[in-house]
Amino acid sequence: MSTAPRTAPRTERGTRTRAKLIAAAEQVFATLGYHEASIVKITEAAGVGSGTFYLYFDSKQQIFDDLVEDLNRRVRNAMSTAASQETDRLAAERAGFRAFFGFTATHPALYRIIRQAEFVSPGALRLHYSRIVDGYIQGLQASQAAGQVRDMDPEVAAWALMGIGELIGMRWVLWEQAGADGTHPDVPEHVFEEMMDFINRALAPNGQLPAEGTQR
Amino acid sequence: MSTAPRTAPRTERGTRTRAKLIAAAEQVFATLGYHEASIVKITEAAGVGSGTFYLYFDSKQQIFDDLVEDLNRRVRNAMSTAASQETDRLAAERAGFRAFFGFTATHPALYRIIRQAEFVSPGALRLHYSRIVDGYIQGLQASQAAGQVRDMDPEVAAWALMGIGELIGMRWVLWEQAGADGTHPDVPEHVFEEMMDFINRALAPNGQLPAEGTQR
Amino acid sequence: MSTAPRTAPRTERGTRTRAKLIAAAEQVFATLGYHEASIVKITEAAGVGSGTFYLYFDSKQQIFDDLVEDLNRRVRNAMSTAASQETDRLAAERAGFRAFFGFTATHPALYRIIRQAEFVSPGALRLHYSRIVDGYIQGLQASQAAGQVRDMDPEVAAWALMGIGELIGMRWVLWEQAGADGTHPDVPEHVFEEMMDFINRALAPNGQLPAEGTQR
Amino acid sequence: MSTAPRTAPRTERGTRTRAKLIAAAEQVFATLGYHEASIVKITEAAGVGSGTFYLYFDSKQQIFDDLVEDLNRRVRNAMSTAASQETDRLAAERAGFRAFFGFTATHPALYRIIRQAEFVSPGALRLHYSRIVDGYIQGLQASQAAGQVRDMDPEVAAWALMGIGELIGMRWVLWEQAGADGTHPDVPEHVFEEMMDFINRALAPNGQLPAEGTQR
DNA sequence: AATGAATGAGAGTTCATTCAT
DNA sequence: GATGAATGAACTCTCATTCAT
């Protein structure tokens, strides 16, 4: 009857229990998808009683939302960390995409979970994509200010880049057989280069096409 | 037809009933998603008894597969029909994307359904994307042969184009509020032009970039 | 809306259709049991449309009742025909049991159907057994009048005989593997003789035990 | 216990709930038969929620099998307990049959359930009869060793005794109207005596038939 | 804080029966 | 007389959630 959310553990033991549940949920959702995953399966994987779940989460939806939030934060972090270590615009772009594909290869769960989010948690999907796109927009605007990207609407370009990464990653990472450790291979080199060439041409200022060597 | 249950009625009335069910399923799946959609909701939307469903489909899975198949066929048809009425490569590309967005606007179900397919019907998702990409590849190869597209791997470009259309369509068609008739607005003009410009630059042969000022 | 039973075909074609349905029902009920048998399976086996069934039978129950009636008539007929060809009381008894086991061996359907009758068709089971027992009672009374059976309540003895035949038949006919033609083997000779000896001793007038040769 | 689902509760409350379900199933199966009995009817009779059923049993089939097992164990126990308190072979036999009819009178479910087992649970029916018959065989062999039963094949005699009890019980216990408490009357005295006389004569060693006038 | 037995709404599915053709 | 598409009540079974312990 209390209106307080149940998500705040008061004791240290409680904190540990909540963490076990989140970790179990990530694994179970990734393996089975949202609907096939049941609370009992999650609590069993966490090694706690089924009733315990509701001490920390209001519903199955809520733990799902928490998970999407978590994964989104991690993929953006991976991308921005990688990009920020480069000074050149082109190198930063390459590093960002490499980080994105790397995260996809090692965390296929992200992909799987996101694809279910639209109906499970209205808004979670939009938030996920919007946040990543915001990162692209900021990068593009900075590059425009430095004269390294042509004059254009950065929002449209950002969604285009997001789409390119999304489907290339789907095709050449997720669809390739995962190894025994559940990790997929990375995008093949020539595909990555073709993709970067495609993007460079689309973004380059007039008359500043990339140097011959990389154009093929 | 190869997927129909043995009991599938063969009369004209039966054909009409099956069509009503497919149309209802499209609407219900699009609105509620696969898991929230129930056979009863579909049959109610179709205006038939719940048992009637099983005269035409073996399971909820099967009508889902049939629907994916159906929508895939229709969207590819819309795209190729539109593109084939243009002789110029650029015009054909524009027409193809316009048809894609138009289909998305009037059949949001396609999008929403595909996003759920990974866990629901492994294989259907891949088939859907692969078939559309095949269409892109053929178009790109023809344009390459005509010297209108630069030398490049058409498969990578095709997946990039697919991704661009996918996310631009998601952002500017599906995420925009649908009207009373359930139809979403089309992509705004300037977004469409920015996108086409992006693509043109990515595909244009060296030295054949559209002249400044005539691009829009 | 008419109160007339639908079981009376008016034309010759109707007579044939009804017969096809009865034959199909016997086969389907025997194979699948009452509840697993569906009207559609029966009509398919009969080669008619499913709606046709209700031109001749009011319900699934009714055709079942008709079948029980039919099988009961046939097994009693087999038994009494066999017995009536013997003049000696002992020989008649032996012939009756032989006929009973023979019918069981070639029509295992009877057994299977009867075992389901109690809940399917209240009264059918009682009628079946009562009628057979009535035959035994009449035989016993005649033998008593001839001094060939001791003074006793023929009704109790009749039910005892029925039970003996029932379980010996179950154990040594039905439980033995049927051949390729669906026919079970007959009761082994020594079992039959042991059983007849058992019965003879139970029924024989005091001091008139069967001759040494048949006692073992 | 070996047939319990993995989720079967282990607390004392759980034990009580399981017992309530088994008792309810006995009553419902006896009244309605296997096919008319539904899980909901059983759980309603047990006074628990319908989902509770599946905490204790995997399916309707399983509770049926468990019930057959349970009733079989109890009827054999009642029979052997009664018989073992008598030293005289004849008295033991009488006590065994009395116990059998008494069990039938208070647990008509056993009878009704067994009759349905053939199609419902192949094997359960055979096991039930075989186990009871095994008890008869052992008793007969012991009596033969003591010279109280004539030389004969005890297996055939055992099945004959089983059949006699089966049909006499059906006719004079089950077919007689049950009282308000659901319990049927016992076999009438003169029927019981006639039956015992029938059996005694069938089993008695040559020359040891009970003397006239002292048989009843 | 933790438990797990209990719940009941709702899922997918079947089939005896009806009725327009 | 014959058909078979259509029906809907009833089935078995699942699972997110509650609550007494």
Residue A85 pLDDT > 70 = yes
Q: Which long-range contacts (CB under 8 A, 24 or more apart) does B65-68 make?
A: B65/B3, B65/B121, B65/B124, B66/B3, B66/B22, B67/B22, B67/B25, B67/B26, B67/B29, B67/B109, B67/B113, B68/B113, B68/B114, B68/B117, B68/B121, B68/B124, B68/B127, B68/B128
Quote the pLDDT of residue A94.
Answer: 95
Report the distance from CA of residue B60 to the C1' of nucleotide F5 in Å, as an integer.
20
Could you tell me which chain C residue has the CA closest to the CA of D116? Answer: C116
DSSP secondary structure of B153-184: -HHHHHHHHHHHHHHHHIIIIITSPP-TTSPP
* Range from A78-87, B179-188, C203-212 carrying the lowest mean pLDDT: C203-212
**Alpha-carbon span D128 to D114, nearest angstrom:** 8
DSSP-derived letter for residue A183 is P
Distance from CA of B24 to the nearest CA of A (A): 18
- The residue type of D215 is Q
User: What are A's interface residues with B at a Cβ cutoff of 8 A?
Assistant: 32-36, 112, 115-116, 118-120, 126, 129, 152-153, 156-157, 159-160, 162-168, 170-171, 175, 190-191, 194-195, 197-199, 201-202, 204, 206, 209, 215-216
Q: Do D112 and C126 lie within an 8 Å CB cutoff?
A: no
Report the Cα B82 to chain-centroid distance in Å: 14
Structure tokens at B199: 């693509």
**Alpha-carbon span C80 to C135, nearest angstrom:** 8
Residue B49 pLDDT > 60 = yes
Read off the pLDDT band of A6 (50, 70, 90): low
| Mean pLDDT confidence for B31-54 | 94
Could you tell me which chain A residue has the CA closest to the CA of B116? Answer: A116
Q: Between vectors from CA D160 to CA D154 and to CA D163, what angle results, nearest 5°? A: 140
* Range from B118-127, C163-172, D8-17, D204-213 carrying the lowest mean pLDDT: D204-213
Signed CA dihedral, C64, C66, C69, C73: sign only? negative
Q: Give pLDDT tens digits for D16-49.
A: 999 999 999 999 998 898 999 999 999 999 999 9
* Maximum Cα interatomic distance, chain D, rounded to a whole number of Å: 64
**Alpha-carbon span B165 to A163, nearest angstrom:** 8
What percent of chain B has pLDDT above 90? Answer: 72
From residue B148, give the alpha-carbon distance in Å to each of B90, B205, D111: 9, 7, 86
Q: Are B113 and B31 in contact (CB under 8 A)?
A: no
Quote the pLDDT of residue A120.
Answer: 87
**Alpha-carbon span A99 to A80, nearest angstrom:** 9
Q: Which of D112, D16, D96, D28 is nearest to D63 (CA)?
A: D28
Signed CA dihedral, B95, B101, B106, B110: sign only? positive
**Alpha-carbon span A74 to C70, nearest angstrom:** 77
Nucleotide nearest to A57 (CA to C1'): F17
Q: Give pLDDT tens digits for D103-151.
A: 999 998 888 888 888 788 878 889 999 999 999 999 999 999 999 999 9
Report the distance from CA of residue B50 to the C1' of nucleotide F11 in Å, as an integer.
14
* Range from B16-30, C199-213, D107-121, D149-163 carrying the lowest mean pLDDT: C199-213
Q: Give pLDDT tens digits for A88-135.
A: 888 999 999 999 999 999 888 788 888 888 888 878 889 999 999 999
What percent of chain C has pLDDT above 90? Answer: 68
Quote the pLDDT of residue B4.
Answer: 63
Quote the pLDDT of residue C17.
Answer: 94
Quote the pLDDT of residue A210.
Answer: 58
Residues of D in contact with C175 (CB under 8 A): 126
Q: Do C156 and D194 lie within an 8 Å CB cutoff?
A: yes
Residue A103 backbone dihedrals phi, psi, to 5 degrees: -65, -40
Residue A7 pLDDT > 80 = no
Could you tell me which chain C residue has the CA closest to the CA of D115? Answer: C115
Read off the pLDDT band of D212 (50, 70, 90): very low
Instruction: Decide which of B41 and A33 is more confident.
Output: B41
Q: Give pLDDT tens digits for D60-98.
A: 999 999 999 999 999 999 999 999 999 888 899 999 999
What percent of chain A has pLDDT above 90? Answer: 66
Question: b or e along D42-72 (b: 16 or more beta carbons within 10 Å of the residue's beta carbon)?
Answer: bbebbebeeebbebbbeebeebbbbbbeebb
Quote the pLDDT of residue A1.
Answer: 37
Q: Are D3 and D67 in contact (CB under 8 A)?
A: no
Residue B149 DSSP SS3: coil
Distance from CA of D114 to the nearest CA of C (A): 9
Residue D211 pLDDT > 60 = no
pTM over 0.75: yes
**Alpha-carbon span A37 to A67, nearest angstrom:** 14
**Alpha-carbon span D59 to D26, nearest angstrom:** 15
User: What are C's interface residues with D at a Cβ cutoff of 8 A?
Assistant: 32-36, 112, 115-116, 118-120, 126, 129, 152-153, 156-157, 159-160, 162-168, 170-171, 175, 190-191, 194-195, 197-199, 201-202, 204, 206, 209, 215-216
Quote the pLDDT of residue D4.
Answer: 63
Read off the pLDDT band of C1 (50, 70, 90): very low
DSSP-derived letter for residue C102 is H
Q: Are B46 and B34 in contact (CB under 8 A)?
A: no
Residue D8 pLDDT > 90 = no
Distance from CA of D12 to the nearest CA of C (A): 36
To the nearest 10°, the Cα dihedral for D205, D208, D213, D214? -90
| A198, A209, A216, best to mutate vs chain B, most B CBs in 10 Å | A198
C6 strand E contact, CB < 7 Å: no
Q: Report all structural domains of chain B as residue ranges with CATH numbers, in order of start.
A: 1-58 (1.10.10.60), 61-203 (1.10.357.10)
Q: Do D153 and C190 lie within an 8 Å CB cutoff?
A: yes
Quote the pLDDT of residue B122.
Answer: 76
Looking at C57-153, list the stretches that DSSP marks H as alpha helix, in order from N- to C-terminal side. 60-84, 89-106, 108-120, 124-145
Read off the pLDDT band of C212 (50, 70, 90): very low
Q: Give pLDDT tens digits for C111-155.
A: 888 888 888 887 888 999 999 999 999 999 999 999 999 999 999
Quote the pLDDT of residue C3.
Answer: 39
Residue A39 pLDDT > 80 = yes
Q: Give pLDDT tens digits for A140-175.
A: 999 999 999 999 999 999 999 999 999 999 999 999
Q: How many CA atoms lie within 13 A of D37 on its CB side?
A: 26
- CB proximity list for D41: less than 8 A, separation 6 or greater: D28, D32
- Nearest CB partner across the interface for B198, out of A112, A190, A202: A202
| Mean pLDDT confidence for A169-183 | 91
Q: Is residue C103 classed exposed, middle or buried when 0-12, 13-18 and 19+ CB atoms within 10 A define those classes?
A: buried
Quote the pLDDT of residue D142.
Answer: 93
Distance from CA of D166 to the nearest CA of C (A): 6
| Mean pLDDT confidence for A26-44 | 91
Could you tell me which chain A residue has the CA closest to the CA of B209? Answer: A206
Report the distance from CA of residue A36 to the C1' of nucleotide E6 in Å, as an integer.
22
| Chains D and C touch each other (3 or more Cβ pairs < 8 A) | yes
Q: Do C156 and D33 lie within an 8 Å CB cutoff?
A: no
Q: Between vectors from CA D140 to CA D137 and to CA D145, what angle results, nearest 5°? A: 125
Residue A34 pLDDT > 50 = yes
